[in-house]
Amino acid sequence: NDFRSLAPWLLPRLLCCVEWGERAEAAAVARLLDDWPISLPVESALELLDYAYADATVRSFAVRCLQKISDEDLLLYLLQLVQALKHEPYLMCDLSVFLLQRAFKNMIIGHYLFWHLR
């Protein structure tokens, strides 16, 4: 518990140690993420959207951590987030829903999202 609150940004390092082929370990990670504070820095959340973390629970957690960023910060990371869509196994995923919701709320984000997706 103390580790999660004192150093939440170390989550990607912890997840590198997981044997994803072992169902018990993957289930333990899902339980761990339920209790992990949703306060990762944007850079750590982006890291969890890399191809190395294909687990849907991990990717969903990363998107939940991104929910709080401002529109200005989202514009800074928008291209990387669009690139992260390539690593999603399905088109309808938490990341695409998040990007579309933010694009509908802010016309500038929508404009840049459109051109990054082209």
Q: Is the Cβ–Cβ distance between 29 and 61 less than 8 Å?
A: no
As given in the structure block, the two tokens for residue 48 are 């969890």
| pLDDT tens digits along 17-58 | 999 999 999 999 999 999 888 889 999 999 999 999 999 999
Query: Per the CATH hierarchy, to which homologous superfamily does domain 2-117 belong?
Result: Phosphatidylinositol 3-kinase, accessory domain (PIK) (1.25.40.70)
Instruction: Look at the pTM and tell me if it is higher than 0.95.
Output: no
Confidence of residue 9 (pLDDT cuts 50, 70, 90): confident
> What pLDDT is attached to residue 8?
83
